Structure 1
Amino acid sequence: ILVDPKKVELTLYNKIERHYLAKLPDSEEAIITDNTKVIHTLNSLCIEMDNRYELLKSAMVRNIKEYNVKFKARKLNPNDGHTFLPYIVLVIDEFADLIMTAGKEVETPIARLAQLARAIGIHLIIATQRPSVNVITGIIKANFPARLAFRVTSKIDSRTILDFQGADQLIGRGDMLFTQGNDITRIQCAFVDTPEVAKITEYIGSQRGYASAHLLPEYSGEDSGTGIAMDIADRDAMFRDAAEVIVTAQQGSASLIQRKLKLGYNRAGRIIDQLEAAGIVGPFEGSKARAVLVPDIYALEKMLNEETK
């Protein structure tokens, strides 16, 4: 799965879509450049991870290697949902841009995948040109034991990536440091230019592939059409109080709900999602507060009373 927020770095790999790439069922292209699709893809991968763990549990094995050996030995019945599980690698080219625009919506599923997914063959590679603590947070660092650093400008940046100094003294042109645990290894990265990538992808793309890219499970986002009717029974007990706080202040933010109602971050975030599904606040807009779509308390009361009729 290739995520390319810059839109130009990974487009060459479109030619191998039917050979090596995976995508969401409703996507036209396998290379993901839209941030909303990134969030959907990450959540879809979490669904895939949970599905795979269920398969491992029913097959009574511990990891993907044992599972595939058992499947190839015809000890698992495809009629029970068993299938050969390919390895999936998620590559994110510019993680800083995703964190700036989507924040926790991206960080939470990535941390979950990094913690749990390696046993069932889902691996993550994330890259950034801005190694600040806002981008490479504690949660991300804790779950990515293997790290690579090219030349950086300061010792602080080197410590942010590797927890060691040294990347600031590299000579550039592919000179890099690799760490996994406590040992640091100096490596030379090969330079592969655009014509060479084009040749390789052209060569693979000209061979016979699958009918389509590998399809990931379908993920329906918070803004799906039937969300309002379905979510009423599942709403949080504090939903009405939170709606009143948001409409009174005319400010759609999870932190406001946290402060006023003394809730945790995750619960406040879920309530904000429910308020969006109900049409009380607008969609997520990066660092800006969400728009409040209900003008006053009277309009809110009328809206909620009509829903319960």
Structure 2
Amino acid sequence: MSHPGGTRATATAGSAGRGDLGRALRAEWTKLRTAGDTGRLLLLAVALTVAVGCGTARAVKCPDAGCGQDAVKLALSGIAVGQAVIAVLAVLAVSGEYGSGMIRTTLTAVPSRITVLTAKAAALAAVVLASGTAAVLASLLAGRLILPGSGFTPAHGYAPLSLTDGPTLRAAAGSVLYLVLVALLALGVATAVREAAGAIGLVLGLLYLFPVVAQVVGDPQWQRHLQQISPMTAGLAVQVTVRPHELPIGPWAGLGVLALWAAAALSAAGLLLHRRDA
């Protein structure tokens, strides 16, 4: 038998929860929008991504038919550099609040710490999604214009870069998602560590040192396994459009590995945020 009072209490609690999330989302969006570093870092990430892609497209040559280069991956090569700026932005979005003590105000306004973390993740994902889309589209447009001058022409087996091509569309969409997942990974690490320098060092180490360690390992089997679990190596497999079957891990499966890293970081962050004082 149902109890009207219990039903009303459940409905009220649900409304309060939704209200807290909405209030937290507005607050986190306001913080990101008004923070002086946010716009500059996003512009820097886009500029670096496009500039590195342009430089790579100009530097690599394809003088003969069947030169074996991946034109799409070349055009999107700047993602590997731009991700560092996105990671720094994500870390500062959290560490700045801890450094200033504003986190106490945030947790007083929204007592549910998981709600706060969810709102931070959603707001950050939204701005990175927008800037990442701009960076990827600009990189592909630049590649479409520059690569033919480097020999990537129909005569050499390369059609102009276009999102109507399935593998190119997958690489483009996957690159945007890659940046979002890097941001969420960095957000989780920063929330767990709470200190900017340590969090940035840890995230960049995961992204850039992991592949170096994999290359140093002498055993090919272990090297392959390390590449399969490396956040950057596995995640950027989504950009490959030439001979993807030769990769240590498939394109979408590789992006899934990065998603697991981000989920693990956010889960640890949520647990620590819930258990300890601000």
- TM-score normalised by L of structure 2: 0.25
| Greater fraction strand | 1
TM-score normalised over the length of structure 1? 0.23
The structure whose RCO (Cα within 8 Å, separation 6+) is larger is 2
